[in-house]
Amino acid sequence: MKKKPQKDSSDQKAFHVHPSDTKNSTTDHHNITSVRLGIEISNPNKGMSIYYSDIYFTMNHNGIVVAKNSTPGFYQPCKNDTTRAVEMKLADLQFLQQIIGGNVSFKIGLETTVQYRIFKWKTKHHKMDYEAYVYNVTVNGTDLGQNGTVLKKTVF
């Protein structure tokens, strides 16, 4: 008999973008080429670990992908928080000008496949899609609130 995890990574608190790490990678405002995101991935489960395949990130502004990157897959033990810094290379000139000119809003997308390990057996692979809207980003970063911005599961 298969047991379903009490809390899995689809919990809305599983993926966060943290305010202290959401800063542009350069202090020279005329040479901005990327935005650094600090991502925290939580596994609150007892007795269940998670295998992540590569995690793909996208930034969308006005319906256009302006940056993307990925981070290698990893194993996450139970009751563990994992952080990753993701450098998003900006490709859209108009988006760059808006960041330099003041503040800008965008959507972050996250996509991966996970496999759960519950005690000694592994589950099948599960596809996961998350997104979050980030508002009023400036050259020096943004205030995303004390707990950061939570990425929420995408509904198709």
pLDDT digits 0-9 by tens, 86-120: 888 887 777 777 776 667 788 889 999 999 999 88
Average pLDDT value for the chain: 75
3-state helix, strand and coil shares in percent for the chain, rounded to the nearest 5: 10, 55, 35
First-to-last alpha carbon distance for the chain, in angstroms, is 29
- pLDDT tens-digit series, residues 136-153: 665 555 444 444 566 676
Alpha helices (H) along the chain: 93-101
